[in-house]
């Protein structure tokens, strides 16, 4: 192995000199170019600094060279040992030719190694020198600067500290005062803000709560109303449907019943005692007759009924004529409920029960109230026979009469005179129930040789129309007979014009069928009692009865002069008619019948019954 120590030493020395020159240059650059060092006084960068730097550099170089040489020596020894071992191995393993090649390789490697080592040593030496010089220069400069600056700083610090303390104290005082002011202002502002916010918040919460509650209630009410409306609509629709179905069924059922009754009426033998022979009637509004005329219907006699808004036609034909077929034919043309077709039925005043001239005067049969507060005379209409207005009891009474029978007919006057006297007689020896009343007497009875005193449906309709046009308040009908479609319709129209109609219950006896017009719903049915408040023995009974009044043994004027006593339900009607007329004159438009029913004396079974109705009429209890 070749030992390289002379080469190594030379490389080290060369590197150190290069490092020294570089360090010196670096120190000068640092002193001249650093901004901090430019503040150092000029005397600090003179010869003393150069000497110190050179001494420090020499010491550092020596130490570095020693350390580097020692390290290189150690490495060289190690390498020499390794080379010796390798030589011995080569001698054992290689031959003479191989030896020569190996020597050439070693020489080449040594040259390259020397160059590489020299470069490495130079680089290390330069780096060490530079770092050493830089550190030394920095330490020396820092020491000089520290000493110089410390003195100046101490002087400046005293002044600066005093000024700083003063400024700090002032600032602290100012800050303290400002903090206190700010705290106070903050507290006050915070309190004001808190109060304001609290008040605003309360108002806002209250408003929002109120709004929320209102909206909740509105929504709840709306939901409930909507559900209620939907349920109500559903129920209404269901109810309407049920009603429509019920009405349809009822209408169909009524039509079937009408057909059956009409057929029975045609099949059964007609009671010629209750109809006018060879005549039937049609009543409808005027335009209906125009439609019938277009279809070829011709009528013998046509009468206008202006107060009723109707027109009445009489058709000649035998009583055995099939009225059902006629009715169906008319209704097929004009439609149901637009026209009424029926016989011209006849009505009677009932059996006359004439006694002696002694009897119970009307004003003795019932207690009358004192003079009322009416400012005008009550207007009462009556449909009966002719009135003997020349009778002394009626001579001074206010009576207007009109006949509704044929001009050549014989007019009876017994029954009409009796009823008129009970109502309006005004004689010194005999007074009726209301002497100041204005009485409108419609004569509808005529004498028939076979059937006695009778009144036809035609005469009744014409009389009723006249009384309505005369603006009467109450109509007294003291007759009875069979039902009639035309009469029923006319009475409904009278009721719709607030005309109160009262009629006799009938004198057919306890088991007799209901009598008309008293049995119609629009008419007040009046029955008769005696002085002992017992029912008249021939009076009809039934659920249609409304009220009872005196009607047995009543004293009344006799046509042609004098007085007589008679009994019957027709004589009881004037008591109820005059009571209603008096109330209407004092209380126009009042529900007078309810007052009369509530004030009646209950007779017979409790409440309304089929004998006395609501009870006995009492005028003083009203």
The DSSP H or E segment spanning 294 is helix 286-294
HEC profile of 459-494:
HHHHHHHHHHHCCCCEEEECCEECCCHHHHHHHHHH
Counting beta carbons within 10 angstroms of the beta carbon of residue 170, is it exposed (0 to 12), middle (13 to 18) or buried (19 or more)? Answer: exposed
Counting beta carbons within 10 angstroms of the beta carbon of residue 418, is it exposed (0 to 12), middle (13 to 18) or buried (19 or more)? Answer: buried
Choose, from 384, 388, 465, 473, the residue flagged as catalytic.
384
Q: What residues contact 159, with CB distance under 8 A and at least 6 apart? A: none
Q: Decide if 465 contacts 536 (C-beta within 8 A).
A: no
Whether 498 is catalytic is: no
Q: Decide if 370 contacts 620 (C-beta within 8 A).
A: no
| CB-facing half-sphere around the CA of 23: CA atoms within 13 A | 29
CA angle 570, 572, 573 (to 5 degrees): 70
| CB-facing half-sphere around the CA of 564: CA atoms within 13 A | 16
Whether 570 is catalytic is: yes
| Alpha-carbon distances, residue 17 vs 142, 169, 235 (angstroms) | 27, 61, 123
Length of the chain: 622
Distance CA 478, CA 513 (A): 17
Here the tokens at position 539 are 């009076």
Whether 407 is catalytic is: no
Distance CA 186, CA 173 (A): 19
Distance CA 540, CA 503 (A): 12
Choose, from 27, 385, 570, 585, the residue flagged as catalytic.
570
Q: Decide if 524 contacts 576 (C-beta within 8 A).
A: yes
Phi, psi angles (nearest 5°) of residue 388? -85, 90
Q: Decide if 601 contacts 618 (C-beta within 8 A).
A: yes
Q: Decide if 413 contacts 387 (C-beta within 8 A).
A: yes
DSSP secondary structure of 111-177 = HHHHHHHHHHHHHHHHHHHHHHHHHHHHHHHHHHHHHHHHHHHHHHHHHHHHHHHHHHHHHHHHHHH
Sign of CA dihedral 501, 502, 507, 510: positive
DSSP secondary structure of 536-596 = PTT---STT--EEEE-SSEEEEPTTSSEEEE-SGGGTHHHHHHHHHHHHHHSTT--HHHHH
HEC profile of 335-380:
CCCCEEEEEEEEEECCCCCCCCCCCECHHHHCCCCCCCCCCCCCEE
Distance CA 487, CA 490 (A): 5
CA angle 250, 481, 401 (to 5 degrees): 120
| Alpha-carbon distances, residue 234 vs 225, 287, 297, 315 (angstroms) | 14, 41, 48, 52
Closest CA to 462 of 536, 517, 515, 383: 383
Choose, from 342, 388, 413, 415, the residue flagged as catalytic.
415
Our CA dihedral for 78, 81, 87, 88, rounded to 10 degrees, sits at: -150
List residues with catalytic annotation. Answer: 384, 415, 570
């Amino acid at each position: 192995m070749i030992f390289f120590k002379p080469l190594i030493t030379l490389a080290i020395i060369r590197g150190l000199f290069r490092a020294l020159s570089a360090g010196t240059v670096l120190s000068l650059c640092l002193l001249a170019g650093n901004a901090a060092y430019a503040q150092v006084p000029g005397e600090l960068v003179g010869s003393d600094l150069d000497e110190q730097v050179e001494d420090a550099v020499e010491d550092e170089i020596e130490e570095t060279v020693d350390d580097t040489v020692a390290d290189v020596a150690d490495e060289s020894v190690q390498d020499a040992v390794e080379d010796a071992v390798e030589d011995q191995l080569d001698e054992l393993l290689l031959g003479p030719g191989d030896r020569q090649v190996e020597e050439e390789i070693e020489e080449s490697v040594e040259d390259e190694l020397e160059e590489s080592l020299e470069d490495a040593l130079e680089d290390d030496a330069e780096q060490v020198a530079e770092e050493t010089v830089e550190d030394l220069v920095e330490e020396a400069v820092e020491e000089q600067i520290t000493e110089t600056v410390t003195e100046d700083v101490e002087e400046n610090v005293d002044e600066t500290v005093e000024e700083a303390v003063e400024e700090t104290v002032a600032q602290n005082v100012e800050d303290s005062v400002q903090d206190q002011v700010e705290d106070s202002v903050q507290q006050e502002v915070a309190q004001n803000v808190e109060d304001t916010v609290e008040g605003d918040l309360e108002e806002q919460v209250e408003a929002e709560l109120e709004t929320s509650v209102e909206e909740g209630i509105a929504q709840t009410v709306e939901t409930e109303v909507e559900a209620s409306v939907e349920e109500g609509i559903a129920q209404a629709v269901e109810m309407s449907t049920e009603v429509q179905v019920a009405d349809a069924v009822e209408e169909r059922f009524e039509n079937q019943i009408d057909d059956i009754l009409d057929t029975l009426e045609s099949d059964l033998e007609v009671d010629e005692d209750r109809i006018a022979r060879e005549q039937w009637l049609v009543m409808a509004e005027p335009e209906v007759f125009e439609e019938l005329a277009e279809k070829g219907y011709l009528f013998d006699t046509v009468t206008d009924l202006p107060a009723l808004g109707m027109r009445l036609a009489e058709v000649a034909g035998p009583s055995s004529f099939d009225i059902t077929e006629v009715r169906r034919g008319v209704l097929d043309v004009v439609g149901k409920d637009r026209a009424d077709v029926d016989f011209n039925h006849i009505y009677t005043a009932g059996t006359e029960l004439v006694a002696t001239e002694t009897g119970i005067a009307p004003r003795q049969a019932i207690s009358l109230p004192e003079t009322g507060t009416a400012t005008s005379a009550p207007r009462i209409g009556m449909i009966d026979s002719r009135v003997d207005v020349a009778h002394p009891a009626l001579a001074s009474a206010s009576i207007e009469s009109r006949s509704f029978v044929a001009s050549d007919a014989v007019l009876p006057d017994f029954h009409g005179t009796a009823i008129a006297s009970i109502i309006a007689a005004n004689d010194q020896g005999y007074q009726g129930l209301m002497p100041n009343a204005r009485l409108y007497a419609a004569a509808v009875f005529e004498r028939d040789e076979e059937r006695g005193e009778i009144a036809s449906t035609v005469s009744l309709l014409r009389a009723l129309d006249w009384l309505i046009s005369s603006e009467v308040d109450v109509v007294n009908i003291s007759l009875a007979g069979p039902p009639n479609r035309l009469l029923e319709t006319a009475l409904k129209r009278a009721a719709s014009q607030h005309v109160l109609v009262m009629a006799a219950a009938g004198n057919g006896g306890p088991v007799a069928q209901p009598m008309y017009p008293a049995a119609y719903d629009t008419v007040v049915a009046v029955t008769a009692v005696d002085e002992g408040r017992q029912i008249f023995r021939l009076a009809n009974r039934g659920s249609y009865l409304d009220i009872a009044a005196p009607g047995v043994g009543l004293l009344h004027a006799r046509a042609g002069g004098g007085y007589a006593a008679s009994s019957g339900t027709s004589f009881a009607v004037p008591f109820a008619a005059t009571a209603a007329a008096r109330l209407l004159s004092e209380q126009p438009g009042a529900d007078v019948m309810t007052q009369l029913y509530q004030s009646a004396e209950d007779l017979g079974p409790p409440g309304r019954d089929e004998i006395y109705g609501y009870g006995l009429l009492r005028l003083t209890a009203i």
